[in-house]
Structure 1
Amino acid sequence: MSNYSANEIHLINRPAGMPSAADVEMVQRELTPPAAGQVLIKNLYMSVDPYMRGRMRENAVYADAYQLNKAMYGGAIGEVIESQSDKVKIGDI
């Protein structure tokens, strides 16, 4: 079993106006080790952009809506901390 866990930000309410802390929840979960051909990446920087607000609506216009009680997602830069791939090595960005 892996010694790693992840903090995920889940959308728990669809904001009526400006999003607030009451609309999201931080959820920690244990990660499984990478399988053959997979890697585990530690996020170094996450992009938080205005377009993400539109995805919080139930009927997002230009991209799929975030699902309630699921991890929100976006662009990120990360470092490989475990690798089971011949193409990617630990330390790769």
Structure 2
Amino acid sequence: MTAAADHMGRFLMVAIGGLLLVVGVIAAIIARDLLNKIQQTTRQIQELVDEETTQALEVGTMNEVGELRQAVNAYGEKLKALTFASRSHPR
């Protein structure tokens, strides 16, 4: 009886360990993707500030990152309009 309980205990430990490993790998992949999107958005903001880009960010899924990218695109359009207006009406 105790041998069966020991076997079941080991099986549960291995199964839970495997499940934790899979969840950890999935979480790492999601975190890496999120960080890449944030870094790309940060680069785009810097390029907008430096007036080095006119390309809009791909918004993608409307989650927090999508909303951030949409706001960056809107801000970039506003900066471009202000820059154009100041160049067309020099003081």
Identify the structure with the greater strand proportion. Answer: 1
Report the TM-score, using the length of structure 2 for normalisation: 0.23
Q: Which has the higher contact order (CA 8 A, sep 6+)?
A: 1
> Which structure: greater helix fraction?
2
